[in-house]
Amino acid sequence: MELRLKIERGKNRAAWCLELTLPSCRFCKATVTLDVGNGILQEIDMGGMSTGRRVTAELSQESFRIVSFQGKPDQNFVEGVERACQGLPKFGAAVFTASGGDGAAGFPRAHELKKSGTYALLWKAPDALKFPEELVPDNFISRQDWNLALVTVPAAPSTACTEWLESLTGLTLSGSTPNISIAWPFLARNTSLNSAECTTSAAIIVAARGMPIGQSDTGPIMLMRGGQQRLLATGVERDTALFALIPDNFQQFFVAKAGTEEIEKLLSTTFQVDAVADLPVVEMAFTNPAGVRLVVPFDRARCKDYIDLARLNQMTLEYLAVPPGTRGWFYVVRASVGIRYELLASDLRAPHSPYQRLIAPELLANLIDCLTDAACHVDLDLGGFGKLRMNGSELLAPNVATPTLGTAMRLRVRSFVSQLRGCTPIRVDADDAQLVRAVGAINPQPALIPHYRALIRDIIACGFEVKRKGKSVSL
């Protein structure tokens, strides 16, 4: 069990929260009760934890705990999981880092500070914490008297700055984390932890800092991959080592430490000084019967509606456009045979935007064929850009089992709905679908939102789709 800090993308500076992550377990008929902070207990059905579970946690200074198990839980989980997780500090700041490297969502708790590293500091008092001049905090909106800021530790902090950080966090500041950055041209910026872009230049100078190298080596051996080319070069300095790249016609290429796959950065020459780029999105392009092209964001409900029209031959799906470097997969079930395909952005530009890329032509044709086939089931996953599921007519045949809540879950749903004030009474003979619709119409009080979230997730795990009719509640 681990405590993580989750910060949503976008301009909403209040969109952050704490989450408890539970490891996966084998299917079992059991529940686990968690203390998610401040004395709030949450019960989780372990039958839906094949890929683990993330639970929203409270801003609590007490430990987060697994309180108890009920039923017949997976013994490997019971014996192997940590029962307690340290809460937030009563003095000083909790530290979370984005360099966990495990691919899971959220910032994990940091156990040390590194020079040139970026960290999230979470503290309760004082509100106006006086940072050293070397640290420039990026502040978020406070919540429940807790303050959050992102800071980047300098490559060579002063003694006063080091002592201030170690005193505030209780962690030791050590050497810098290996990193790759653009030294020239000056007009460059990081677009994520592992990617950067700059203006077009005849040569690009890349700086490799803190790279692990052998005692007999003059400098780190770096690898550049662009298209079909793979080039190796050895630095003439150990730290910092500079490398000059001649892009030629390449706009995107990877630079990595040879033999160390996790130290890698995607560089691109797509930075436009006079352009205001929006957040990267995945888009689908359709053509209506009048021949007009309609480009729709992938995560909008309208996109799925247009695919439904394409399955009825009332629209034409042209292509899928993704940001450079996008990875994903789609799973297809056709004629009772399931096949999984990996997706990767190609070097082909999308017709409607120079900043968007198409996926490989063969995969794109296959994806369009499956999405527009009414008999075909498709699961499309593009990582942080969203997911899409299109059910095929084969999977909607009468012999497919209707989802059910089960006796214990049905009693839990009925009890939750009936205890809310102002809620329309549920009929005694209400079926599972009617109960789920009643849950979707609830507007829970703030104190009940954690329990409501857990209930919705367990209903979804039973196979139901919950359509919200009340006020929006983040799940």
Q: For 181-202, how does the pLDDT look when each residue is reduced to its tens digit (9 = 90+)?
A: 888 888 887 776 678 888 888 8
| Residue 397 resides in a domain | no
Are 289 and 386 in the same domain?
A: yes
Q: Is the pLDDT confidence value at 470 over 60?
A: no
Q: For position 426, what pLDDT does the model report? A: 67
Q: How many folded domains does the chain comprise?
A: 5
User: At which of 214, 240, 268 does a domain end?
Assistant: 268
Are 183 and 168 in the same domain?
A: no
Over residues 116-156, the pLDDT tens digits come to 788 899 998 766 688 998 898 888 888 888 999 888 888 78
| Residue 467 resides in a domain | no
In sequence order, the β-bridge partners of residue 380 are 330, 388
Q: Is the pLDDT confidence value at 180 over 90?
A: no
pTM (whole model) above 0.95: no
| Residue 469 resides in a domain | no
Over residues 35-49, the pLDDT tens digits come to 999 889 999 999 888
Q: For position 170, what pLDDT does the model report? A: 92
| Residue 444 resides in a domain | yes
- 99 confidence band (pLDDT: 50, 70, 90): low
| Residue 396 resides in a domain | no
| Residue 65 resides in a domain | yes
Distance of CA 148 to the CA centre of its chain: 19
Are 380 and 427 in the same domain?
A: no
Q: For position 399, what pLDDT does the model report? A: 45
Are 322 and 381 in the same domain?
A: yes
User: At which of 28, 55, 85 does a domain end?
Assistant: 85
| Residue 262 resides in a domain | yes
- 11 confidence band (pLDDT: 50, 70, 90): low
Average pLDDT over residues 408-428: 73
Are 287 and 385 in the same domain?
A: yes
User: At which of 16, 50, 85 does a domain end?
Assistant: 85
Q: Which domain holds residue 145?
A: 93-174
- 19 confidence band (pLDDT: 50, 70, 90): very high
| Residue 18 resides in a domain | yes
Are 39 and 110 in the same domain?
A: no
Q: Which of 87-96, 239-248, 415-424 has the highest mean pLDDT?
A: 87-96
User: Whose structure tokens read 């909106």?
Assistant: 141
Are 215 and 239 in the same domain?
A: yes
- 475 confidence band (pLDDT: 50, 70, 90): very low
Over residues 254-271, the pLDDT tens digits come to 888 888 777 888 888 887
Over residues 282-319, the pLDDT tens digits come to 999 999 988 899 999 888 888 989 999 999 999 999 99
Are 81 and 124 in the same domain?
A: no
Are 80 and 158 in the same domain?
A: no
Are 202 and 158 in the same domain?
A: no
